């Protein structure tokens, strides 16, 4: 029997032309619900957009007009934003910035990398072959998100790449932890014969300066990728971290792993495999003393799922329940280039026609849920899925429910 009741679904953000995705929400001290998300430049998911913010004053039933946190330019974009409210009321948003380097030399032959090329948006070569991660950054707001500081670079050394997923967490001593995933020898998420590690950066001055603090999980055999960490603080002060995993060389997603810290994140137990499949996770403490984890589910029947734990350490798939099913469109009237970096429409994208849920291509990119418990006890889970428009677009939804 599902532990949730009175389920309602609400549209959060839907852009008429652009994909919007990968939201992260938190409840502010004043009770408002604030969320950040990525607005892509075009009707594709390419991690090339800008970071946006939207608020709800009724626990996620309705949402206000979005505002821009960090805009894109001709040569840069940003994505995967997370948000937290510090003890002094400052809003801190973390994200990655990428650079788009268009061809600087005149080609002497037809370009092997000249794809995709769409009628609507022209040459997209720059979004594939010539895109490069520039760094992890934060911005701060002292006025509730009306104005923002200039981007502050995050020192992720010795890593060369530090991808975000969740917002930051402030410790009782005032230190701020930021969970990242990346590699030491190379940029991006593949290559260099190195697996992706998850790690914590820490700031002790309110987010102005950062330093590598601890390794959450890493496989020196370069077989298992540990990515997109999310941290839960237990009543006894321990930290529990869940991570998404993939195995090389196939890249297949495997079950999530869990690791625990008893010293505020300075050291961690070896990662322990759970029996839970899905990604990425987010975990929160509940008002009744229990703990809740939500995660995307990218295989039939798709959607978003959750598990409740009594102690925050014991998690079991037998307790899994469905928050939202579906999220894939039924068909597309036009082809789409592949998601994120690399590839082209002929090999890794999706051709026009009926979408097979067993082989959905880029349309499997649903979920990325974020969960909060409102002051009235209701739960709000925000996530992205695909519309059923003639040309499907990613958009944001919020599912609200109450716990039994």
Tokens 């995993």 appear where? 245
Judged on CB neighbours under 10 Å (0-12, 13-18, 19+), 359 is: exposed
Give the CATH number of domain 4-403.
2.120.10.10
Question: pLDDT value at position 63?
Answer: 98
> How many Å apart are CA 72 and CA 78, to the nearest integer?
7
The rounded percent of the chain whose pLDDT value lies above 90 is 76
Per-residue pLDDT at 305 exceeds 60: yes
> How many Å apart are CA 243 and CA 360, to the nearest integer?
24
What is the pLDDT averaged over residues 344-349?
A: 51
Per-residue pLDDT at 207 exceeds 60: yes
CA distances to 260, 321, 378, 401 from 5, in Å? 31, 11, 10, 6
The rounded percent of the chain whose pLDDT value lies above 70 is 93
- Residue 27 CB: number of other CB atoms within 10 A? 19
Q: Taking a C-beta distance cutoff of 8 angstroms, is the pair 51, 40 a contact?
A: no
Q: What is the DSSP string of 224-242?
A: EEEEEEEEEE-TTS-EEEE
- pLDDT, tens only, 12-61: 999 999 999 999 999 999 999 999 999 998 888 888 899 999 999 999 99
- pLDDT, tens only, 186-203: 876 666 789 999 999 999
Name 105's Cβ contacts closer than 8 Å, sequence gap at least 6.
Answer: none
* Token pair in block for residue 194: 């190195």
Q: State the distance between the two ends of the chain, measured CA to CA, in whole angstroms.
A: 10
> How many Å apart are CA 276 and CA 318, to the nearest integer?
9
- Residue 253 CB: number of other CB atoms within 10 A? 17
């Amino acid at each position: 029997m599902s532990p949730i009741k009175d389920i309602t679904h609400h549209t959060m953000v839907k852009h008429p032309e652009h994909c919007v995705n990968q939201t992260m929400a938190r409840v502010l001290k004043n009770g408002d619900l604030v969320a950040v998300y990525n607005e892509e430049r075009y009707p594709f998911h390419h991690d090339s957009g800008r970071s946006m913010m939207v608020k709800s004053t009724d626990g996620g039933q309705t949402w206000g007009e979005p505002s821009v946190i960090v805009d894109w330019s001709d040569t840069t974009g940003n994505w995967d934003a997370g948000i937290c409210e510090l003890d002094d009321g400052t809003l801190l948003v973390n994200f990655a910035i990428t650079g788009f380097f268009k061809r600087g030399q005149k080609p002497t032959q037809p370009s092997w990398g000249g794809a995709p090329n769409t009628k609507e948006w022209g040459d997209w070569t720059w979004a594939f072959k010539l895109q490069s991660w520039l760094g992890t950054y934060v911005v701060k707001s002292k006025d509730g998100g009306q104005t923002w500081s200039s981007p502050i670079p995050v020192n992720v050394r010795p890593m060369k790449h530090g991808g975000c997923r969740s917002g930051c967490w402030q410790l009782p001593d005032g230190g701020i932890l930021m969970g990242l995933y990346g590699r030491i020898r190379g940029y991006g998420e593949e290559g260099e014969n190195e697996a992706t590690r998850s790690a914590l950066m820490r700031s002790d001055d309110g987010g102005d300066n950062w330093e590598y603090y601890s390794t959450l999980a890493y496989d020196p055999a370069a077989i298992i990728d540990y990515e997109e960490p999310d941290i839960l603080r237990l009543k006894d002060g321990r930290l529990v971290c869940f991570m998404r995993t993939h195995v090389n060389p196939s890249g297949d997603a495997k079950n999530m792993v869990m690791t625990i810290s008893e010293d505020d994140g300075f050291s961690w137990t070896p990662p322990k495999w759970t029996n839970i499949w899905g990604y990425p996770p987010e975990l929160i403490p509940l008002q009744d003393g229990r703990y809740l984890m939500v995660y995307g589910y990218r295989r039939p029947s798709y959607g978003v799922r959750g598990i409740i734990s009594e102690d925050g350490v014991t998690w079991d798939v037998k307790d899994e329940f469905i928050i939202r099913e579906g999220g894939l469109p039924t068909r597309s009237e036009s082809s789409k280039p592949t998601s994120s970096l690399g590839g082209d429409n002929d090999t890794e994208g999706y051709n026009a026609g009926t979408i097979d849920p067993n082989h959905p291509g880029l349309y499997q990119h649903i979920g990325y849920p974020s969960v909060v418990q409102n002051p009235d006890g209701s739960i709000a889970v925000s996530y992205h899925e695909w519309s059923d428009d003639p040309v499907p677009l990613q958009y944001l939804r919020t599912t609200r429910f109450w716990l039994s």
